[in-house]
């Protein structure tokens, strides 16, 4: 735009209402207020509580003993490993399958409306229900999975062995959440103009080349958002391992460990320390994603 037009816009903006920077704060305010009031204060509460040392129900002082105990506890590190294994496996598969779904949903063919609705079905079932359903199916009693799979021995104990227990919950999570990833990627696919594909095709690019060279790069922000939210959610997974395996056979994730101390053994200080540590881990990973994403957002995604 010319300098003259820019000045005009600035003058008009000033005449018509708040200066833009103040308007920005006004736009942001409602979100920030709601989030701070509801979601921030328990975090602060727990951080403060994590320094309180409890024996039984009485507070015995303050200090870092909760953290020392957590960081030297084998169960904590086992939970970290289990959480990471679950996260990497499930996010990887969800991304691949979700991308496939998104590419298909993006196309025009007969019955695509129904296909899209079908793909969304696993995701709209509440997690506790899906968890109960898969627990029921994988469980050796009554053995639904073993009943349907011809190659599975009649009493294969899916949920009762290390390794296979994790497989079962990853499987259930992928089944349930790949559509979510597909939805996010699909929304991103919509922003890619058709002309870009047209010109590439005219230039003789194959479908695979178009996927790798055009689609994926242009999709990068949506991919990062999808990976970001899936990863941070997977790191905090609770419902599925709780309902399906109760944390047994190497499936105790960090959230399950936290729940044990929030509900069962009721040590508020230690529970808060565990929650804060979990939060720190998840936050660290989230920050990495956001810094990758933030630059793109600020710069915009229009390629020259």
Partner 1 sequence: MQRSAFTRRSLLRLLATTPVASACVRGSSPGQKRPNEIVWTIAGSDFPPLVQISEMWNALHPDHPVRTERLPDSADLQRIQLGLELNAQGSSFDVMSLDTIWTGEFAENEWIESLDDLRREAEQRILRGPLSSGMYQDALWAMPVTSNAGFLYYRTDLVPEPPRTWDEAAQVGMEAARRAGIAPYVGQGAAYEGLVVNYLELLWGAGGDLFGPALEQVVFNSTSAARTAVEFMRRSQQEGFYAPGFNTMMEDQAKTAFASGQTVFMRNWNAFYGFLQRPENSQIVGKFDIAPLPVFVDGEAASTTGGFNLSVSKFSTKKAIAKEFIRFASLSEDAQIHLGRNSRAPVLASAYGKLQDDPVMRLLGQVLPNAHTRPPVPYYNDLSLALQQQIFPAYTGQKPIPEALDAITAEIDRIIRRRQQISGQEQ
Partner 2 sequence: MAGLTPASGAQGAVERRTTAQRIGKGLLLAVIVLWCLLPFAWLIITSLKQGDAALNNPNPLVGPFGLGNYASVFGAGFAYNLRNSMIVAGTTTIICVAVGSLAAYALVRLPLKGKVVILGAVLAVSLYPPIALVPPLYEVWRSIGLLNTYPGLYIPYTAFTLPITIFVLTTFFAAIPPDMEEAAKVDGATPLQAFWRVVVPLAAPGIFAAAILVFVYSWNEFLLASVFTPRDLAAQTVTVAIANFPGAVQFQVPLGSVTAASVVTTIPMILMALIFQRRIVSGLMAGSVKG
Residue 126 interacts with partner 1 (CB under 8 A): yes or no? no
Euclidean distance between CA atoms 180 and 201, whole angstroms: 30
Q: Are 251 and 239 in contact (CB under 8 A)?
A: no
Residue closer to partner 1, measured from CB, 106 or 132: 132
Among 55, 88, 125, 216, binds partner 2 (CB under 8 A): 125
Does 266 contact partner 1 by CB under 8 A? yes
**Residue 162 burial (10 A CB sphere; 0-12, 13-18, 19+):** exposed
Which neighbouring-strand residues pair with 62? 52
Distance between alpha carbon 297 and the CA centroid of its chain, in Å? 19
Span from 62-70, 84-92, 160-168, 202-210 in contact with partner 2 (CB under 8 A)? 202-210
Kindly tell me which residue out of 73, 92, 104, 160 binds partner 2, with binding defined by CB under 8 A: 104
For residue 60, state whether it binds partner 2 (rule: CB under 8 A).
no
Using rule CB under 8 A, residue 139 touches partner 1: yes
Q: Which phi and psi (to 5°) does residue 111 adopt?
A: 80, 15
Position among 94, 173, 239, 260 found at the interface with partner 1 (CB under 8 A): 260
Cβ–Cβ under 8 Å, residues 175 and 125: no
Residue 301 interacts with which of partner 2, partner 1, none, CB < 5 to 8 Å by class: partner 2
Phi, psi of 162 (to 5 degrees): -60, 145
Only one of the segments 171-179, 185-193, 220-228, 263-271 lies at the binding site for partner 1 (rule: CB under 8 A); that segment is 263-271
For the record, the structure tokens of 92 come out as 């990887």
CA distance 78 to 85: 11
Residues 13 to 32: which contact partner 1 by CB under 8 A?
A: 16
DSSP state of 205: -
Quick one: what does residue 71 bind among partner 2, partner 1, none, with the CB cut-off 5 to 8 Å set by partner type? Answer: none
Q: Residues interacting with partner 1, by CB under 8 A?
A: 16, 55-58, 60, 139-142, 155, 157, 159-160, 245-246, 248, 260, 263-266
């Amino acid at each position: 735009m010319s300098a003259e037009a820019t000045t005009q816009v600035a003058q008009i903006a000033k005449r018509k209402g708040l200066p833009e920077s103040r308007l920005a704060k006004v736009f942001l305010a409602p979100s920030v207020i709601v989030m701070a009031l509801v979601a921030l204060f328990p975090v602060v509460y727990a951080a403060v509580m994590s320094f309180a040392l409890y024996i039984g129900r009485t507070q015995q002082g303050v200090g870092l003993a909760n953290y020392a105990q957590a960081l030297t506890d084998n169960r904590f590190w086992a939970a970290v490993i289990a959480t990471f294994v679950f996260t990497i496996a499930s996010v990887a598969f969800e991304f691949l399958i979700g991308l496939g779904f998104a590419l298909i949903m993006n196309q025009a063919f007969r019955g695509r409306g129904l296909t899209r609705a079908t793909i969304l079905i696993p995701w709209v079932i509440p997690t506790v229900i899906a968890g109960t359903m898969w627990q029921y199916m994988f469980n050796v009693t009554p053995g639904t999975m073993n009943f349907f799979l011809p190659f599975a021995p009649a009493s294969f104990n899916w949920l009762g062995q290390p390794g296979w227990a994790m497989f079962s919950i990853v499987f259930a999570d992928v089944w349930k959440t790949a559509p979510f990833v597909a939805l996010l990627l699909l929304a991103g696919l919509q922003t890619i103009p058709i002309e870009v594909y047209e010109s590439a095709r005219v230039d003789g690019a194959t479908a695979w080349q178009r996927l790798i060279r055009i689609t994926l790069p242009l999709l990068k922000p949506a991919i990062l958002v999808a990976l970001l939210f899936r990863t941070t959610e997977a790191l905090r997974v609770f419902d599925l391992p709780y309902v399906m395996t109760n944390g047994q056979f190497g499936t105790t994730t960090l959230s399950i460990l936290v729940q044990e101390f929030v509900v069962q053994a009721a040590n508020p200080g230690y529970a808060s320390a565990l929650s804060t540590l979990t939060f720190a881990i998840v936050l660290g990973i989230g920050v990495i994603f956001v810094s990758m994403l933030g630059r793109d957002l600020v710069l915009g995604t229009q390629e020259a």
